[in-house]
Amino acid sequence: MTKIAIVYYSGYGHTAKQAEAVHAGAASVAEAKLYRIDANGDLPEADFAALADADAIIYGSPTYMGGPAWQFKKFADASSKPWFGQAWKDKVGAGFTNSASTNGDKGSTIAYFITLAMQHSQIWVGTGVMPSNAKAHGPNDVNWTAGFGGALAISPSDASPDEAPRKGDLETARLLGVRVAEVTKKLRG
Amino acid sequence: MTKIAIVYYSGYGHTAKQAEAVHAGAASVAEAKLYRIDANGDLPEADFAALADADAIIYGSPTYMGGPAWQFKKFADASSKPWFGQAWKDKVGAGFTNSASTNGDKGSTIAYFITLAMQHSQIWVGTGVMPSNAKAHGPNDVNWTAGFGGALAISPSDASPDEAPRKGDLETARLLGVRVAEVTKKLRG
Amino acid sequence: MTKIAIVYYSGYGHTAKQAEAVHAGAASVAEAKLYRIDANGDLPEADFAALADADAIIYGSPTYMGGPAWQFKKFADASSKPWFGQAWKDKVGAGFTNSASTNGDKGSTIAYFITLAMQHSQIWVGTGVMPSNAKAHGPNDVNWTAGFGGALAISPSDASPDEAPRKGDLETARLLGVRVAEVTKKLRG
Amino acid sequence: MTKIAIVYYSGYGHTAKQAEAVHAGAASVAEAKLYRIDANGDLPEADFAALADADAIIYGSPTYMGGPAWQFKKFADASSKPWFGQAWKDKVGAGFTNSASTNGDKGSTIAYFITLAMQHSQIWVGTGVMPSNAKAHGPNDVNWTAGFGGALAISPSDASPDEAPRKGDLETARLLGVRVAEVTKKLRG
């Protein structure tokens, strides 16, 4: 069965909610599993092995200071081991990120995920969802935050993980999971 | 007197409004002039000469298909002539962009402006304004759109240039003009 | 039969040689065709229609002033028409670029191609070739120029298209064509 | 006296050599000091305080997996404290990176440094050195590696820090130090 791995870091819980939405979408189509990087930037050896066995690896992290959290980057640097033998080659890749500000360099985090995936010779899949960008639209509409390369979420600085990411961003995340799983099924059976 | 040049393209008038706000800010501190690239991507030879005489060159363009409009890029390519002799070296640089979607790859346009400015050996100045990113904030608040490397504006797809960019984005643009002029005065007298 | 379209601009002929190498690779696996954007940035209406019919669209342009040539960007902006109806959705995407300098912001051009492809909801495929980065390596070795997200080529400023891109860069381009065609076959039959 | 701080991480010693070259350049013009991030990504509290007192902060890191080393990112994330109060506002910023491959996404690391500096409201200065890009040029020539936004160095995968970065890259690094110090003096006296 097609296996989708979602590997992410979350600092305060907002990105974890986004990860769960991606997971819900992927799990509606294929086998999907969440792998959470810990506060020290570590992922158990067994989880690294599971990633090597997956058909798609989706990356997630909050955007901190204009890029993925250092804990995510520590995971990425540790992936130089599978990189060296190109163990993740031809797996599907995708990404998602959350931060407080409307833009706030979220695009920079997604760009990094793509760069990482390209070094691993993954095949990148974006949101595939048109943005909601008319005057009447707001945070409850799908892809109002308007990410193409990856799913973006805005969680205002004073919003708890119970309040944000909001409806539209969570739906965008869910749809990313669906899309990645569908492409992966076609590509890898 | 310190001279600030603002060179921009505008397709439907929203970016022109943003450019006027940048101009208003810069003109409150120094001599400032707008140079509009035409629909064919051309800028008169005399304007190119004026840019060579400026102390700062600020770039502006809508974000179309994830980057600056081709008309702006035509101008940028034509700047290979001053580039070759590094005629714009040490001038201050800055940038602004507008598009319909909340994110919609505006950051990619600003990143291009920075790349261009670095090839010209310019010195880059961003917004210098903290984002308004709490729950209570909205498009009327300064830097709600949350650009750091350059000023960003959101003009919903069904909003005329009379309606958008909105108050907060125009104020962010104005403040960018002020900041660029102040840094330029310090740097180049 | 799987159809691979390669749409590119070339100013002096170096990028055209790279495009031919990509084409040779793709044509060894699938049906492949080159579409050259003209000096005015135009592509005939019939060619736009052919792109809509392709299974993969590969982008190519020299890197001028830190990004794709304006002629390519004019094509990209004109693609807002198929974008609006997402006519290129789920087509495979890939890219290549050439410039005189060793780095010289080639990565910025590839990043733009990826951004464009993501707006079109394409599925991105990189080189999938490890870099040749030991002391003994040089421009005759595959992926010595070391692109992951796309194929990069160095054509020194005083090298004619007969002299450059050199052997390694042309082979990297050819392998990109092969890889794109193979992934496209798997994905779209 | 004008104070230039160079804060960097080095894994195997190549980036440390590059940092020393930047330092030598800066120290020829102003007061300059190196701050090395340790293997755990930490910088002593006293060093953070010293950065707040500097007129310029230059960032350096190897490029690992397409971005700065996680240790550098941990430092960047810790800089959210001075960021919150914009304590580094108006300091000059610049950057340098080293990796084994010719391109290998070095540009992505420099782009991150710029993003970080923009969040801190720094003023960015690039190399200001034209690339050596003719057929006769090689690694002993200044800016043969061809970075604009920051200084780039290539250290082949089998080259020790005694062998690489090579002459041209070290000179480019030195010139970056000179340039940053000169701009900083003009800007901040």
Query: D97 with D15: CB under 8 angstroms?
Result: yes
Residue B41 sits at the chain C interface (C-beta within 8 Å): yes
Per-residue pLDDT tens digits for D93-113: 999 999 999 999 999 999 999
- Residue D169 pLDDT > 90: yes
Element (H, E) at A151: strand A151-154
Report DSSP state, residue D51: H
Interface residue of C63, C102, C166 to substitute, partner D, most D CBs within 10 Å: C102
**Single pTM value for the model:** 0.99
pLDDT band at C134 (very low <50, low <70, confident <90, very high): very high
CATH class of B3-188: alpha beta
Residue C115 sits at the chain A interface (C-beta within 8 Å): yes
Contact across the interface for D108 and A108, Cβ inside 8 Å: no
Contacts of C19 (CB under 8 A, 6+ apart): C6, C8, C10, C34, C36, C60, C96, C173
Residue D74 sits at the chain A interface (C-beta within 8 Å): yes
Per-residue pLDDT tens digits for C16-27: 999 999 999 999
Mapped onto helix, strand or coil, the DSSP state of residue A7 is: strand
Contacts of D34 (CB under 8 A, 6+ apart): D6, D8, D19, D20, D23
Query: A110 with A149: CB under 8 angstroms?
Result: yes
The C-alpha atoms of residue D42 and residue D45 are separated, in whole angstroms, by: 9
Query: C93 with C126: CB under 8 angstroms?
Result: no
pLDDT band at A189 (very low <50, low <70, confident <90, very high): confident
| B88 chain-C contacts, CB cut-off 8 A | none
The DSSP result for A154-187, as a single string, is E--TT--TTT-S-HHHHHHHHHHHHHHHHHHHHH
b/e code B28-59 from CB counts within 10 Å (16+ = b): ebbebbbbbbeeebebeeebbebbeebbbbbb
- Residue C175 pLDDT > 90: yes
Chains with ≥3 CB–CB distances under 8 Å to C: A, B, D
Per-residue pLDDT tens digits for A8-59: 999 999 999 999 999 999 999 999 999 999 999 999 999 999 999 999 999 9
Contact across the interface for D80 and A64, Cβ inside 8 Å: yes
Domain ranges of chain C: 3-188
Contact across the interface for B115 and D149, Cβ inside 8 Å: yes
Per-residue pLDDT tens digits for B67-86: 999 999 999 999 999 999 99
The C-alpha atoms of residue D159 and residue D162 are separated, in whole angstroms, by: 8
The C-alpha atoms of residue A106 and residue A111 are separated, in whole angstroms, by: 9
The C-alpha atoms of residue B21 and residue B107 are separated, in whole angstroms, by: 20
pLDDT band at B115 (very low <50, low <70, confident <90, very high): very high
3-state helix/strand/coil string of B93-105:
EEEEEEECCCCCC
pLDDT score of C189: 81
Rounded to a whole number of angstroms, the distance from the CA of B72 to the nearest CA of chain A is: 22
Q: Which residues on neighbouring strands pair with residue A154, listed in sequence order?
A: A99
pLDDT score of D43: 97
Q: What is the mean pLDDT of chain B?
A: 98
CA of A101: which chain D residue's CA is closest?
D119
Query: C38 with C60: CB under 8 angstroms?
Result: no
| D70 chain-A contacts, CB cut-off 8 A | 41, 70-71, 73-74, 76-77
Tokens 């294929």 — which residue? A30
Provide ipTM, 2 decimals: 0.98
pLDDT band at D189 (very low <50, low <70, confident <90, very high): confident
Q: What is the mean pLDDT of chain A?
A: 98
| C123 chain-A contacts, CB cut-off 8 A | 123-125, 183
Residue C161 sits at the chain D interface (C-beta within 8 Å): no
CB-nearest to D121 from B86, B126, B188 is B126
When pLDDT is averaged across residues C100-121 and rounded to a whole number, the result is 98
The amino acid at residue C86 is: Q
CA of B89: which chain D residue's CA is closest?
D128
| B66 chain-A contacts, CB cut-off 8 A | 148
Rounded to 5 degrees, what angle do the CA atoms D50, D56, D57 make? 70
Per-residue pLDDT tens digits for A146-168: 999 999 999 999 999 999 999 99
Contacts of A92 (CB under 8 A, 6+ apart): A55, A56, A57, A122, A123, A124, A125, A180, A183, A184, A187, A188
Q: In 3D, which of B45, B20, D63 has the Cα closest to residue A119?
A: D63
Per-residue pLDDT tens digits for D24-52: 999 999 999 999 999 999 999 999 999 99
The C-alpha atoms of residue B137 and residue B126 are separated, in whole angstroms, by: 22
CB-nearest to A126 from C118, C127, C130 is C118
Rounded to a whole number of angstroms, the distance from the CA of C4 to the nearest CA of chain D is: 27
Query: A26 with A185: CB under 8 angstroms?
Result: no
Q: Which two tokens stand for residue C138?
A: 């040089």
Q: Which residues on neighbouring strands pair with residue A152, listed in sequence order?
A: A97
Residue C124 sits at the chain B interface (C-beta within 8 Å): no
Rounded to a whole number of angstroms, the distance from the CA of D158 to the nearest CA of chain B is: 31
The C-alpha atoms of residue D62 and residue A11 are separated, in whole angstroms, by: 26
| B149 chain-D contacts, CB cut-off 8 A | 114-115, 118
When pLDDT is averaged across residues D179-187 and rounded to a whole number, the result is 98
Q: At what angle do helices B106-119 and C106-119 cross, to 10 degrees?
A: 160
Peptide bond before residue C44 is cis, with ω within 30 degrees of 0: no
pLDDT band at D21 (very low <50, low <70, confident <90, very high): very high
